[in-house]
Amino acid sequence: MENGVKLVIDIGNTRTKIALFNEDAMVDSHSVKGNFSVVLSKLVADHGVPVSCMVSRVSMDDAEIMTAIEPIKGARILFLRSGLLLPIKVLYKTPETLGNDRLANVCGAWAMNQEKNSLVIDFGTCIKYDFISNAGIYSGGSISPGLSMRYKALTRFTSQLPYFKPVDEFPELIGQSTEGAIRSGVENGILEEVKGIIARYQEMNNQTLIVLTGGDQSKFADKLKSPIFAAPNLTLTGLKVILDHNDQ
């Protein structure tokens, strides 16, 4: 426990992301499906037992988690939940329903740059837009369907449109087949939505930093004209920021 490393665990619906930090540097990370005890055992073998650990989850109950994190027994374990100390001020009117990923994202963005306001755009299952001021005040943002969700919705809620899985190639604006039209509508629709939201925020404050994260961010990042900062590990970084704040 003298080694000073800290651990963050982000338990999602399908995957668990784990990162180990030494000071501010991420020294090891993993993304796994199912039980993650084996990964934790390897981390302990390679780096020692962490001083403390932050756990964020959207699934798994406390008993399951405590069994899974048995390899780091001895570390100080904190769960990200309502009432935990935060480095920012939250003005969200229903904090009990605020997603842990959104909260971690704004904490991470604020910690990285406190000179400008930040708009975090998370291209995950849903596309989440969250704004935090340079003073560390978070009021909220917006949520819309993500890339895969939009493809699935077209099939589910119509009788004729087939399902197409997202691919790496970005579609042309004019689709010349049903597949091309769907791909254009979904992906160019997202692109124009994001551009429009960014423009609205920059009308409010032209010094706003745009921070992109989430699994699908790389598909849209180079299509955006605004200066942006890509932070694929923003949620994990934000969890570490919250952990540090509670370790003081």
Span 77-101, pLDDT tens digits: 999 988 899 999 999 999 989 999 9
145-178 in b/e burial notation, b at 16+ Cβ within 10 A? bbbeebbeebeeeeeebeebeeeeeebeeeeeee
Measured CA to CA, the distance from residue 230 to residue 180 in angstroms comes to 28
Which has the closest alpha carbon to 233: 220, 218, 214? 214
**Per-residue pLDDT reduced to its tens digit, 109-139:** 999 999 999 999 999 999 999 999 999 999 9
Q: Show the beta-strand stretches assigned E in 102-136.
A: 118-123, 126-132
Residues whose CB falls within 8 Å of the CB of residue 94, separated by 6 or more in sequence, listed in order: none
* Phi (first) and psi of residue 94, to 5 degrees: -125, 70
62 or 203, which is more confident = 203
Residues belonging to the active site:
101
Q: In one letter, which amino acid is 247?
A: D
For each of the domains in the chain, give its residue range(s) and CATH number, in order of start.
1-79 (3.30.420.40), 82-248 (3.30.420.40)
Q: How many residues in total does the chain contain?
A: 248
